[in-house]
Amino acid sequence: MIKRNLLVMGLAVMLSACGFQLRGTGQTELAIKELDLDARNAYGETVTQLRQALQSNGVNVHAGAPYKLILTNEAETQRAATYSGGSGRTAEYELSTVLSYTIGGHDNTNLLSDKLEVRDTYMHDGNNIAGSQQEALQARKEMRRELVQNMLVRLQLLTPTQLELLQQKADERAKAEAQALEAARRAQEATPQQSPLQLPAN
């Protein structure tokens, strides 16, 4: 936990030295000014915190925006990293959360799909169940905050111009697929259909 916090602090120092900052730390606003936001768990903590973070970064989050961020899946796994036998039954557990998302444009076109992953560890002490549960809960809260911050970083790398280019490519793909389907349909209609064989009556 200490190593991870030191790493996060070090990255924050380096990013701030480069002039890169998020809201809440002397932020830089996102280039995207309008965004719709949806999730499989529409009232979950992750989408709620992300909506608040986007709004605090100057993004107008509303239905009908030109682009839509969809959190398609959030999956958590847990595994024992280390184990200490004996009466204490102390074990270190590693938590991992993968957040899958897509960004859609008009006509429900999928502009891009990607995922984020964060990890953390906590100690489970068989002699202190309540304390271990509290540590696990705190680790999950920190991971969720990290997911939200990482998503803001991803979105800061996108500009309206880039999204427009992705939309154009998606439109071109959709048009090519529609033309291919139409050509296949016309070819099928132009092909003479064989009549079923008629057997002579006895």
> What does the pLDDT look like over 1-20, one tens digit per residue?
444 444 444 444 444 444 44
pLDDT tens-digit readout, 97-107:
999 999 999 88
Which pLDDT does position 90 carry in this prediction? 78
Q: Is residue 2 part of a domain?
A: no
Q: Which residue type does 177 have?
A: E
CB of 41 closer than 8 Å to CB of 33: no
The predicted model gives 35-40 an average pLDDT of 94
Q: Is residue 80 part of a domain?
A: yes
Q: Is residue 155 part of a domain?
A: yes
Q: Is residue 69 part of a domain?
A: yes
Q: What is the mean pLDDT of the chain?
A: 82
17 compared with 167, residue with greater pLDDT: 167
Q: Is residue 160 part of a domain?
A: yes
Q: Is residue 134 part of a domain?
A: yes
Burial 185-194 (b: 16+ CB within 10 A, else e): eeeeeeeeee
pLDDT at 66 over 70: yes
The predicted model gives 152-171 an average pLDDT of 92
DSSP-assigned letter for residue 25: S
Which pLDDT does position 29 carry in this prediction? 74
Which pLDDT does position 13 carry in this prediction? 41
Q: Is residue 13 part of a domain?
A: no
Which pLDDT does position 41 carry in this prediction? 87
**Angle made by CA atoms 158, 161, 162, in degrees to the nearest 5:** 45
Contacts of 95 (CB under 8 A, 6+ apart): 76, 77, 78, 119, 120, 121, 122, 136, 139, 140, 143
Q: Is residue 56 part of a domain?
A: yes
124 compared with 96, residue with greater pLDDT: 96
Question: In the chain, how many domains are there?
Answer: 1
Say what the pTM is: 0.72
CATH number at residue 48: 3.30.160.150
Q: Please give the residue range of the domain that contains residue 32.
A: 19-176
